[in-house]
Structure 1
């Protein structure tokens, strides 16, 4: 077999392949055998029809077509391997010549990974991130949130006020008809929390137990999601929330610490850790932006089109589907036009593809490997974000043949982390930041996932669809 490669543009090539006819022998034999099992000819047992009879009855052309369809993938793969090209997606194959007994010639156009020129080092990259600063106000807010969790309630005989917990019965009507799923009784709601329908706070404030009011609100879920409904709310109980005193006794109740001072010190430490992780993530994102500016990355148009369609599909059928929203309603809530959405999706898809190309090239150049421990940690984190157990998620990934997808994510995260190590990262106070290696790789992997966006495993897609 002879093959040649013609570069059509930086991301697409044409393979021209010439196959001697004798190399079709195995596929021709398989074609005759397959046809033998599918047809019946009087005077011959099934599966025992001679080749010449099949040619006479059904035509040599049908046999050749079957044989060529069987052989083309093998010859194409051989040509790709010989040319040592990194193909993307499926080829467009055109049979240019087929002479029975002589030759098979075909061409295959296919997208390929572009050749990239990466900088020798990344020391020229410099980014600024937020400083890690935790003040007393931050600690007060953290402790107050903990205090809220330990609040108690007691019924009161007065009108409901902000912060009270009311027990209510709800009935929603659309076009004058009560919805089948629009009735709820004994619902507990904290006034001002914003956890129920818009407009309910104003409706219940000022009502005592037994009082009711009617208001209009857009339904967020259920059979009439997105529609305006007339909602009747009846208050059956008003309860005042009582917060525990901020003292050592509270610290012992709400934590493993003996004193409020120790609890506040622990809150400071946790807040600092959170901000340090946010700082690492910010560093990864900004270094990645600088890296992409340094490398010229052509993007295959067909690959880009597929990526855009995948992102739109995931948004519409998985994310919005869970929330009971249509794309039009989502755009209305976001205050975006369809044109703005399309532009943003295209820009995100371009960035995702460029990120994968650049970091994959860096993985190859630096010979970065992913060990079992790193893969397991990544798998467990992805499982947690999908709402599945690690065992369920791992089984779904293996059965879907998507282990390489997860390995690629971790490898690209490690590649980005190496760039960050070489770059200069300063905070807003001008201090040079030395990021923790473990946090750096984890944050880098999450950054890569977020940018690539559509690289969703079948396991997560199925879980979202089921939801």
Structure 2
């Protein structure tokens, strides 16, 4: 008995098949007989019998394929007659090729004819006809289970509102204002959100680290871009102030010794935000007025939130229904779902430039 792995054709077989298979038989063509029988678990067995005359067409096609690959003196590729190929290679070569090439198609026909909702590649075994006569094979395949769910009537789920609040639009405007802000030198102490121009030197065990040495370096207080202790020390400093302090190395857990910093503040700068007016709209958007810009933001944000709300509804309903399911879910369905989620995550990361 020969086993064939036909994972390649599984995708083709599942298209448009939503009904659960039922036991029965059918003649897909006048010379091909198919039957389907339930098995233990979520599995069915498809039996396919192909008339010898019908299968002879597949053998002819197989020899034509072989003729493309085998060189015969006096013949161009693909032009050698079947009788010469049989004489040289034996008739079994064509029949074996025909079984490999044609059985996936006969299996796919049987799946479609019996509306079998397959969820995994089949296990196919040839029961007769490998050498001559009608070809008979059996395909055992896992199918989508029918799950009964009780208690779903009156089920409620909570999802985010698709409405856009004024505060959300204002937050978008605030982000744009920060993007178009200018820095202005101020005669006061630095606070969170201010910028300072500093000369900085970092060292470890008395050795200066080139990556931590800079002059006239513009730094945002509170950003935590270097070490948290730097931000703490810079709050309250003014132009001309100096600070000397130690700080744990970011990789202290890996045994790195502490760092030492010498910092001098040369300037304190405050961020000056532009007015939220028509001038900003003309500079930062495709609109001439704030009113037009706000209307466009509302429209686009509403579209996004409605799409997110629809996705949330589907996810919440799916989660709620899943909690009501007591039947065991086939491993193939779980694996397929995990693969789909991984592919979706990979696509989103690639879209964000993080692949």
TM-score category (smaller protein): 0.5 to 0.7
Query: Structure 1 pair 74/235, CA: closer, same or farther in 2 (3 Å)?
Result: farther
- Ranges in structure 2 where 5+ consecutive residues have no aligned partner: 1-31, 282-288
**Could you tell me whether the CA contact under 8 Å between 1:163 and 1:191 is conserved in 2?**
yes
Aligned equivalent of 1:153, options 183, 193, 205: 183
1:8 correspondence with 2:39: yes
1:300 correspondence with 2:330: yes
* 3-state secondary structure, aligned to 1:17: strand
Per-residue deviation, residues 182-221 of structure 1 (Å, max 9, x unmatched) = 9998765421245x345252365448579687755549xx
**Could you tell me whether the CA contact under 8 Å between 1:2 and 1:17 is conserved in 2?**
yes
Per-residue deviation, residues 46-86 of structure 1 (Å, max 9, x unmatched) = 54544343234223222211111110121011110111112
Query: Structure 1 pair 6/187, CA: closer, same or farther in 2 (3 Å)?
Result: farther
* 3-state secondary structure, aligned to 1:124: coil
Per-residue deviation, residues 325-377 of structure 1 (Å, max 9, x unmatched) = xxxxxxxxxxxxxxxxxxxxxxxxxxxxxxxxxxxxxxxxxxxxxxxxxxxxx
Residue of structure 1 in register with 2:7 after alignment: none
TM-score normalised by the chain length of structure 2: 0.60
Residue of structure 1 in register with 2:267 after alignment: 238
Separation of aligned partners in 2, 1:168 and 1:24: 84
Q: How far did 1:16 drift?
A: 1.9
Residue of structure 1 in register with 2:93 after alignment: 62
Residue of structure 2 in register with 1:82 after alignment: 113
1:32 correspondence with 2:56: no
1:112 correspondence with 2:143: yes
**Could you tell me whether the CA contact under 8 Å between 1:157 and 1:209 is conserved in 2?**
no
Aligned equivalent of 2:53, options 22, 26, 33: 22
Query: Structure 1 pair 231/169, CA: closer, same or farther in 2 (3 Å)?
Result: farther
- Equivalent runs, 1:168-187 vs 2, <5 Å: none
Residue of structure 2 in register with 1:289 after alignment: 319
Separation of aligned partners in 2, 1:227 and 1:21: 76
* 3-state secondary structure, aligned to 1:100: coil
Q: How far did 1:304 drift?
A: 1.8
Query: Structure 1 pair 82/179, CA: closer, same or farther in 2 (3 Å)?
Result: farther
Q: Larger % of helix: which?
A: 1
* 3-state secondary structure, aligned to 1:153: strand
Q: How far did 1:308 drift?
A: 2.9
Separation of aligned partners in 1, 2:168 and 2:195: 26
Please, which moves more after superposition, 210-219 or 110-119? Answer: 210-219
Query: Structure 1 pair 137/301, CA: closer, same or farther in 2 (3 Å)?
Result: closer
1:103 correspondence with 2:140: no
**Could you tell me whether the CA contact under 8 Å between 1:170 and 1:183 is conserved in 2?**
yes
TM-score normalised by the chain length of structure 1: 0.48
Q: How far did 1:307 drift?
A: 3.5
Separation of aligned partners in 2, 1:183 and 1:25: 81
**Could you tell me whether the CA contact under 8 Å between 1:93 and 1:106 is conserved in 2?**
yes
1:164 correspondence with 2:173: no
Query: Structure 1 pair 191/49, CA: closer, same or farther in 2 (3 Å)?
Result: same
- Equivalent runs, 1:369-384 vs 2, <5 Å: none
Query: Structure 1 pair 21/130, CA: closer, same or farther in 2 (3 Å)?
Result: closer
**Could you tell me whether the CA contact under 8 Å between 1:207 and 1:235 is conserved in 2?**
no
Superposition RMSD on alpha carbons, in Å? 5.4
Please, which moves more after superposition, 29-38 or 185-194? Answer: 185-194
Q: How far did 1:104 drift?
A: 1.4
Q: How far did 1:118 drift?
A: 6.6
Query: Structure 1 pair 227/134, CA: closer, same or farther in 2 (3 Å)?
Result: farther
* 3-state secondary structure, aligned to 2:146: coil
Separation of aligned partners in 1, 2:54 and 2:269: 86
- Ranges in structure 1 where 5+ consecutive residues have no aligned partner: 220-225, 259-264, 319-455
**Could you tell me whether the CA contact under 8 Å between 1:147 and 1:244 is conserved in 2?**
yes
* 3-state secondary structure, aligned to 1:101: coil
Q: How far did 1:21 drift?
A: 2.0
